[in-house]
Amino acid sequence: MPAMFPASGVEELVRTGASCRVAVDVNPGFKSGDAVRAVNINPVTHTRLPLYVRGKRGVVVEDRGVFVFPDTNAQLKGEKPQHVYSVMFAAEELWGHGSGRKDKCYLDLWEDYMVPAKE
């Protein structure tokens, strides 16, 4: 229910914030070093999986813990808490054969956005 947030609460609100982390035990499906592929999903609803990374192969760098899943939360269909991983994608993987530079893009993917990469 929409409520009025009072002025007296502003300083504490600003200082403590509103974490999307969920304190629930979920078994991680991936770990650092795993080769993964971002799924090719194209929902008409909200997602935080950008077009440029879908279907691309990357490597898990870090498990960041368990967070609310935006794709379901935006539709009020539940928090569906799951692990978020920082995943490294090589520039050449994302954009095609180029100058051979070593550049990389790192994105934070919810587990639902990832599948193991087949060798």
* 14, 96 contact by CB (below 8 A): no
Judged by CB, which is closer to other proteins: 33, or 119? 33
The residue written with tokens 């954009």 in the block is: 95
Binding site for other proteins (CB under 8 A): 1-7, 9-11, 13-21, 42-53, 64, 67-68, 70, 73-74, 76, 84, 86, 94-95, 101-110
Minimum Å gap between C-beta 6 and other proteins is 6
In the 8-state DSSP scheme, what is residue 35?
A: E
Q: Name the minimum Å distance from CB 64 to other proteins.
A: 6
- Which structure tokens are listed for 27? 């078994």
Q: Closest Cα partner for 113 from 79, 74, 71?
A: 71
Cβ proximity to other proteins: between 54 and 115 the closer is 54
